[in-house]
């Protein structure tokens, strides 16, 4: 395996590992308040532009936070709470688009761009390292020109 292909394999493996780590929850049990706050961060305020329910001061955001708090206290799962909010407010309540269909591009495209950019930089670095900027013929021409210059300056 060449250095270039080895570099690409390493880059792809690092990208896959990074995406895998980002996709899974840390598994640490949370308190109801922490879980409520985390859920409120995931949903968009229907009246605010791009602001989460947790950060908004709008009355509808306060109502959604209270709904989330009561659902968490009642033992509802995150998916059940999400589904209830989707039924009530539609997909616009999702702060982050679902990773399905065309929306999947929003999640995958940045990773592909980063991996491609890193790969291109590694490829350029390896290519520069393996190619010399001058050949033996170039060096002989420069030496001859320098000798000629020294001779004419005397």
For 53-108, how does the pLDDT look when each residue is reduced to its tens digit (9 = 90+)? Answer: 999 999 999 999 999 999 999 999 999 999 999 999 888 888 876 666 776 777 78
Rg (CA), the chain: 29
- DSSP per-residue codes, 104-147: HHHHHHHHHHHHHHHHHHHHHHHHHHHS-S--HHHHHHHHHHHH
101-126 tens-digit pLDDT = 776 777 788 888 999 998 888 888 77
Residue 96 per-residue DSSP state:
S
Residue 65 has a pLDDT of 95
- Map out the domains of the chain as residue ranges: 1-27+98-154, 31-96
Q: Are 93 and 86 in contact (CB under 8 A)?
A: yes
Architecture, CATH, for domain 31-96:
Orthogonal Bundle (1.10)
Residue 130 reports pLDDT greater than 70: no
**Euclidean distance between CA atoms 82 and 95, whole angstroms:** 11
pTM recorded for the entire structure:
0.51
């Amino acid at each position: 395996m060449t250095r270039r292909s080895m570099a690409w394999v390493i880059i792809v493996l690092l990208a896959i590992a990074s995406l895998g780590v980002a996709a899974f929850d840390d598994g640490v049990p949370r308190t109801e308040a922490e879980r409520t706050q985390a859920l409120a961060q995931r949903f968009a305020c229907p009246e605010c532009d791009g602001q989460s329910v947790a950060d908004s001061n709008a009355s509808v955001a306060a109502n959604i936070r209270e709904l989330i708090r009561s659902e968490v206290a009642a033992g509802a799962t995150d998916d059940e709470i999400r589904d209830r909010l989707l039924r009530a407010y539609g997909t616009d309540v999702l702060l982050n688009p679902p990773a399905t269909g065309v929306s999947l591009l929003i999640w995958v495209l940045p990773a592909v761009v980063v991996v491609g950019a890193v790969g291109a930089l590694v490829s350029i670095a390896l290519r520069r390292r393996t190619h010399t900027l001058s050949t033996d013929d170039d060096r002989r021409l420069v030496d001859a020109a320098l000798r000629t210059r020294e001779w004419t300056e005397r």
